[in-house]
Chains A and B, each alone.
Chain A
Amino acid sequence: MRDVLTEALAGYWDEARTDAMGNLIASRGLDRPGPKALVAAHMDEVGFLIDDIDEKGFLRFKALGGLDPRVLPSKRVICGSGRVPGVIGAIPHHLLDKDDDRAPAVEDLYIDIGARTRDEATKLVRAGDAATFDTAFAVYGPLIKGKALDDRAGCYIAARLMMGDVPLPVHYAFTVQEEVGLRGAKVAANRTRPDFAVVLEATTCADRPDPASPGHSTYMGKGPVLTFQDASSVPSRKLLDLLVATAEREGIPYQWKETTFGGNDAGSIHKASGGIPTVSVSLPCRYIHSPCSFLYWSDIEKTVQLVTAFFARISKEGLPA
């Protein structure tokens, strides 16, 4: 990810470094007047950590980040830096008891790369290697489908902001290890010590099958998501109000996240450096943390518009008092 981002953005940032955690932290316009912003998006995706290779060459794994084990059987994966293709299979149901309707558990699953023995497997993959879903990115009309949209979409929006150039001093932190505890963001915030932060994320929809169900969180197609509270942070109310005011003035649709579970890098950033006023602007992402997630281009474009307008306003008016 760092390589991909560097290739795309090296012509736009003033400088960038990879810190001790692996965060890619870039800056543009630090000599400008105005409050210093931190724009954060995480580079990591949910996946698998191979913890054991058995004698028959099957790769046993633990989840890296939150994964519902029920999405794992019958899926293709890619393993390690060698990008070795593998599959997570399933016991033929013909061989299970008719009454056995247990959902699979991670301990019972494994990745098959076609190796016959541990020795064969370890020539290609080692314990400690990571694996990810192997899902192609594609666009079908208004729909984007792919894996890792959480939070490659956030990284994409951060990249668009950098390319469009925000009229403020800005650090862009492409963070690591969000999925295992918002870890990279903490040190990125400590290093950059911004005056305020905007976290760009993907968030749960649960708007299907029933949009009216009481448990839905956000809706695809209704624009950027603002969070009034989640399990990891309470945002700066003043920044939130300014976001709303900006959206309404610019005629940009937005929606509220209607659940308070889940967390993101704002959870670490708002507590860092003596406390940093932080807001999240998120994308409604269906089937998040699964092999194939959905986003609409329109929600991405509206989010770019909203955050661009928000920064423009702060550049003119300063941070809300």
Chain B
Amino acid sequence: MTGLSLESLLVELAEVPGASGREAGVAAAIAGRLNAAGIETRFDRLGNLYATILSGQPGAKPTLLLSAHMDTIGLVVRDVDEHGVVRILPIGGVNRRTLLGLEVWIHGKERVFGVVGATPPHLTTPAERKKVAPWEQFFVDTGLGASEVRALVRPGDWITFATAPVRLGNGRLSSPGLDNRAGVAAVLWSGLRLAASRAALPVDVVLCFTVQEELGTRGAAAAEPAPLPDAAVVVDVGFGDMPGVKPRDSIGFGSGPALTSGPNIHPGVRRYLAAVAERLGVRVQDEVMAGSSGTDAWELQVAGVGIPSAVVSIPLRYMHSTVEAVNLADLEQAARLLEAACIEADAAEVWGWSGGPVAREVE
């Protein structure tokens, strides 16, 4: 951990390509960091990554799960035509308004550079030009000849965005993939610090990095953390305030992590996190979701016999663009909150949420 800053960890994670369904590379990067710190990892058959950090204290303990999805949105190759033009479709919720002119990497036999184009404007009608082009009009151009492209790129190959991370003023970082490498960074960072202080841990901690959240929280649906945790805290990103977005639909950018409320959230877990934040001097804000929190918590809440769940959201501007932006201070506060929540946990309180150690046993 010495010499590693949270910012450099975030940039390192953001730069590893890993679109939904193709998370092996980023999973290996995360596992590499954990293994180097002496933490064992395992994968399930869908590719979810788990790491267990056992408390150094004797006796039965509740288990806390910290979770973040490691996949990002991306593009997939539909077809390579006779001119070498690569037709594309989305992986996850890609915002078509962002696409035109983007530089990409196609992960084919080797990594191939390309630019996203669309039917040239003078070949469209005035009515069409006022709208975002439909998927059929988009393509990736590698500048290579058709036979060269076809030798390297096939239908089903995946594509990620090549925009490089950049530091903006006031400790902000902009990069593609901060949804959800920011969440991954927060969970990984906390996990590494907790592993270095097991003697102080009153709970066992399981880290879970899920796959395919962007396709509909599929990794979380398949997840079977063992033992089933007594509580789960999911870390994802939330809509940071910006022009054009109503304040009630967003959370303050730079105002600290948000704690979600709503049917997806166990109020006891949320109250506990708020209390930890207050003791820590971490400013938190509210995020209210009347149905699904839009995160893995929707699945984890009903996993097995049920996991009391909460969501911590890191404010993010320009979600699902290649210039997503976070405040490093918001990220740091989120990581501090996760770490403290594990260190300060009271076993009785945690078992109070889940029903206690006996009731958790599953046949």
Contact = CB atoms under 8 A, between A and B. Distances in A.
B45 to A, nearest CB: 30
B169 A113 contact: yes
Interface stretch (A41-49, A114-122, A236-244, A300-308): A114-122
Given A113-B168, A286-B141, A210 B245 contact: no
A116 B169 CA distance: 9
Given A92-B95, A92-B320, A103 B129 contact: yes
A94 B93 contact: yes
Interface in A50-87: 54, 56, 58, 68, 70-71, 73-76, 84-87
- Interface size range on B against A: 35 or more
Interface string B61-102: 000000000000000000001010100000001011111111
Contacts of A155: none
Given A103-B130, A145-B115, A208-B139, A58 B243 contact: yes
B166 A76 contact: yes
Contact of A76 (B163, B171, B249, B319): B163
B123 A213 contact: yes
B170 interface: yes
Interface in A265-320: 286-287, 290-292, 294, 296
Interface string A204-219: 0010111101010000
Contact of B97 (A103, A116, A143): A103
B317 interface: yes
A247 to B, nearest CB: 23
- Determine chain B's interface SS by DSSP, over half rule: loop
Contacts of B93: 93-94
Nearest to A124: B169
Nearest to A121: B169
A87 B174 contact: yes
A273 B244 CA distance: 51
Contacts of A76: 163-164, 166, 174, 323
B318 A115 contact: no
A261 B85 CA distance: 25
A228 B167 CA distance: 47
A38 to B, nearest CB: 31
Contacts of B139: 208-209
Interface of B: 81, 83, 85, 93, 95-103, 113, 115, 117, 119-123, 129-133, 139, 141-144, 163-164, 166-172, 174, 239, 242-245, 249, 254, 317-323, 325
Given A90-B323, A101-B132, 7 more contacts: A58-B243, A74-B321, A84-B169, A87-B174, A208-B83, A208-B85, A215-B120
18 contacts: A54-B243, A58-B243, A73-B321, A74-B102, A76-B174, A89-B318, A90-B97, A90-B98, A91-B245, A91-B318, A103-B97, A103-B132, A140-B143, A141-B144, A145-B103, A145-B115, A220-B143, A292-B115
